[in-house]
Amino acid sequence: MSGNRTILMTGVSGFLGSHIARHLIANDYDVIALKRTSSKLDRCKDFSDRITWINYEELHSNLENILFKRPETFLHVAWSGVKSNDRDEWREQAKNLGLLAELLQLSKDVSVRKIIAFGSQAEYGLFHDVVDEGHSIEPYSAYGCIKNCASQMIKCFAQANSMQWYWLRLFSIFGPGEENNWLIPSVIINLLNHKEMNLTACEQEYDYMFVKDLAKAVLVVIREEGDHSGVFNLSTGHPEKLKNIIQYLEKQLSPDHEVMRIGALPYRANQVMKMAGNPAKFQETFQCIPDHPVRNALLETIEYYKNGYNEGNE
């Protein structure tokens, strides 16, 4: 890769994308962000004025501006239907493929040389252990299936057009700005309000990565000079029992009020009890290892909610 420091990016207004964009800007990268007219920019208030924003609806008229800045990396973070209720909505999930096709053509038109996009552990389907990239692909949800379709589209398109491509499979990401209905924000918010919350026995072991470590890892892939195109698990490789995380949060926020009702709910059907990725391939290729201990990352996340959270987070 040359010294060009312009990134063409989607999903900047979201949880993952906002952290990645913020980290890129802090490292002197220019970000051209594609967004919908309706996108909320609450997560971007501290850096919004340093982004070149382009609405999808106005993409054609802005093509010359993108060409002028000559982005060499296309970072695709946006995805429709990430909420749990939408993950088996086939029509909603399939919309992502139409958008991806348009964006891949755009990346070719502006001479992008590297494509980076995010996959999911959902592509592997039901598993109960630490999995590597060689594990069979057997998704059981529309979300996992369409994610895998997207990976094949990117691989095929990139190879046909002599581009590098990186498909980063994520496991569990947490941190400030995550949507409030996911587990860790829900627990923190209920603890802050001393409100009871019904939970399962929480014996599940999940591989949680701090979102700021994710942002650092993405920057490493952007900077990589060689061509190591392929699929990579992006995870810590160190699953932790949910019960331990929840009890730690309870100790920090509500030691005198027992509001977490662990064991009050049954496990759902096909509950995955151990969900973790083997990150060896990524670490060996990019020499990048997460450096935020989980407890420190949880404390930083707690501070975000103590300082006031947005109940309308989307």
Place of tokens 């992006």: 234
Predicted pLDDT at 309: 57
Consecutive 10-residue averages of pLDDT for the chain (314 residues): 80 98 98 94 96 91 88 97 93 97 95 97 93 96 98 98 98 95 95 95 97 98 96 96 97 90 93 94 95 94 83 39
Predicted pLDDT at 32: 97
Predicted pLDDT at 98: 96
Predicted pLDDT at 28: 97
Q: Are 196 and 259 in contact (CB under 8 A)?
A: yes
Residue-wise pLDDT tens digits, 276-309: 999 999 999 999 988 899 999 999 999 999 987 5
Predicted pLDDT at 170: 98
Predicted pLDDT at 62: 86
Domains observed in the chain: 6-175+209-236+276-290 (3.40.50.720)
Place of tokens 């509950």: 271
DSSP letters spanning 231-244: EEEES-S--EEHHH
Pull the structure tokens for residue 14.
């979201």
* Per-residue burial over 222-238, b = 16 or more CB atoms within 10 Å of its CB, e = otherwise: bebeeeebebbbbbbbe
Predicted pLDDT at 158: 98
Predicted pLDDT at 95: 96
Q: Among 73, 111, 232, which Cα is nearest to 167's? A: 232
Q: Are 195 and 257 in contact (CB under 8 A)?
A: no
